[in-house]
Every structure is written in structure tokens, then in C-alpha cells.
């Protein structure tokens, strides 16, 4: 069965500091990995997908199949990055449903 | 930008009553999903729907639950006889394709069972 683990429930950093959110997965097949973000009182929004290999709002994430990880990174955190971040996995073997991690709350302090 | 819309935003219901949660997916999307999030827990998959039938359902999605696409725009989740443990945030999502394509989420309906 597929599983997504986000070991940190809370990450607190100062503005301008780097931030890294960890995500590890288990999946028997070729995974599709996503990061979703939920700002206060807003809906879940797609932030990144591994297949795009793009940077959104300064965030990047690299799929490491050897380590089964998809960590999210930003070199200089901003206050507006404070939000809940969810790593999610999908794929054919998973029936295309999303399996979510438990989420990491990021708090960027001024 | 088109959005998935959900109504109501908050539903309070007595235990044992039936509830219907409504969703309007993005118009050119073909794949529809319901997820739920019990307070303090993970977002969990409930059911996926494609081509007017359920394509997959989780263990949570028992006989109490049903989904319907009654017309070309709405996608509903019905809980027949609610239990206290059904209290959660329910999210609808839609996607243009399956195959790991991104899903777009609604704001959610907070369901409170008394």
C-alpha cells in the first residue's frame, strides 16, 4: 500500500532563512508526487508536481527515487510562506487517488 | 481561473440524519473525487468517480455513503444515517485526466454531527 510520511508537524523559521520540508513515500510503481499548500482559511492549492521540475514561489522539490523522498525547499523564506504544506502521492497503481502526508505547518517569523 | 465550488460551507446535523454535500467541479474536468479530513488527522481519500460510475472507493466509503452526478454540473456526496465520527471537513476535487494529473480542490464543507 502507498504511504506518505511528513516527519515534521511544525517548522518555525525566521524570515530570510532557508526552509526544507521533508517528505518520504512508499509506493510500488512509478509515483507522481505533489506538494499542496493551504494558506489560512483557503483551499488546498497545488504548489508543485515533480514531473514539471519547475520552481513556484521560490520553492523547488526533487524526486529522489533511491531515497524515496520528495523534499520541498526554499532558500529564503518569506512571511507569506506561512501555511500548511501537504505532500501527496498518486499514480496508476494507486488508482490515481491522492494519498496525503500528515502535513507540516510552516511558521515564518519576522 | 475556474474553481471547484462546494456548498454548504458548514453543515450541522443531528446524528442519524441524512446529509447531502454538493460540489460543482471545473467544467471540462472528467474525474471527480471526495476526500475528508477529521480534525487533527490526514486528508483521506473516500471515492473517485469517472464516466458516471465509481472508479475506486476506500474502506471508509461504506454502504452509508453514496455519490451521484445528477446533471452535467453537480457532484454530490450523500451520507444516509450520520454518525458522530462522520464529523470532518469534506473536500471535493476534480481533474481533467486521471494518470496522476493534478487535482483541484474546493474550499470544503465542514460537517458537524451532534
Q: What's the gap in Å between the CA of A109 and the closest CA on chain B?
A: 23
**pLDDT tens, position by position, A66-83:** 999 999 999 999 999 999
Distance CA A83, CA A42 (A): 10
CA-wise closest residue to A104 among A51, A59, A56, A50: A59
Considering only alpha carbons, which residue of chain A is nearest residue B89? A43
Close Cβ partners of B7 (under 8 Å, ≥ 6 residues apart): B22, B109
pLDDT at B40: 85
Q: What is the mean pLDDT of residues A100-109?
A: 96
CA-wise closest residue to B110 among B6, B11, B4: B11
Q: What is the mean pLDDT of residues B57-79?
A: 93
Which residues of A sit within 8 Å Cβ distance of B? 32, 34, 36, 42-46, 49, 51, 86, 90-92, 95-103
Residue B65 clears pLDDT 80, i.e. is over it: yes
Which of A28-37, A69-78, B93-102: highest mean pLDDT?
Answer: A69-78
Confidence of residue A94 (pLDDT cuts 50, 70, 90): low
HEC string for A70-93? EEEEECCCCHHHCEEEEEEEECHH
SS3 A100: strand
SS3 A1: coil
**pLDDT tens, position by position, B33-46:** 999 999 888 899 99
Residue B1 clears pLDDT 90, i.e. is over it: no
Close Cβ partners of A75 (under 8 Å, ≥ 6 residues apart): A18, A58
Longest dimension (CA), chain B: 39
Are the CB atoms for A63 and A71 separated by under 8 Å?
A: no
- How far are the Cα atoms of A85, B2, B89 from residue B110, in angstroms, in the given order? 20, 22, 4
Peptide bond into B24 cis (omega under 30): no
Residue B17 clears pLDDT 70, i.e. is over it: yes
Q: What is the mean pLDDT of residues B5-30?
A: 95
pLDDT at A52: 77
Distance CA A23, CA A63 (A): 10
Please tell me which residue, B77 or A32, carries the higher pLDDT value.
B77
CA-wise closest residue to A23 among A38, A2, A41: A2
pLDDT at B102: 82
Q: Which among B3, B44, B99 is the nearest to A96, CB-wise?
A: B99
pLDDT at A53: 73
Query: In this structure, how many other beta carbons lie within 10 angstroms of the beta carbon of residue B104?
Result: 22
In a 13 Å sphere around the CA of A3, the CA atoms on its Cβ side amount to: 5
pLDDT at A93: 65
Amino acid at each position: 500500500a502507498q504511504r506518505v510520511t511528513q516527519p515534521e508537524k511544525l517548522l518555525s523559521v525566521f524570515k530570510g532563512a532557508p526552509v526544507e520540508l521533508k517528505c518520504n513515500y512508499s509506493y510500488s510503481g512509478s509515483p507522481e508526487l505533489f506538494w499542496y499548500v493551504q494558506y489560512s482559511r483557503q483551499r488546498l492549492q497545488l504548489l508543485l508536481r515533480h514531473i514539471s521540475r519547475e520552481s513556484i514561489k521560490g520553492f523547488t522539490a526533487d524526486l529522489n527515487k533511491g531515497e524515496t523522498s520528495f523534499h520541498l525547499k526554499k532558500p529564503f523564506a518569506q512571511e507569506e510562506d506561512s501555511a500548511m504544506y501537504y505532500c501527496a502521492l498518486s499514480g496508476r497503481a494507486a488508482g490515481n487517488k491522492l494519498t496525503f502526508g500528515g502535513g507540516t505547518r510552516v511558521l515564518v517569523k519576522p | 481561473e475556474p474553481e471547484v465550488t462546494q456548498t454548504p460551507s458548514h453543515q450541522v446535523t443531528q446524528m442519524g440524519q441524512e446529509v447531502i454535500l454538493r460540489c460543482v467541479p471545473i467544467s471540462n474536468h472528467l474525474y471527480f473525487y471526495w476526500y475528508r479530513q477529521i480534525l487533527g488527522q490526514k486528508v483521506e481519500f473516500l471515492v473517485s468517480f469517472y464516466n458516471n460510475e465509481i472508479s475506486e472507493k476506500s474502506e471508509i466509503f461504506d454502504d452509508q455513503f453514496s455519490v451521484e452526478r445528477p446533471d452535467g454540473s453537480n457532484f454530490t456526496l450523500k451520507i444516509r444515517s450520520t454518525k458522530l465520527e462522520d464529523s470532518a471537513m469534506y473536500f471535493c476535487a476534480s481533474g481533467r485526466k486521471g494518470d496522476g494529473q493534478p487535482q483541484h480542490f474546493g474550499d470544503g464543507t465542514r460537517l458537524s454531527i451532534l
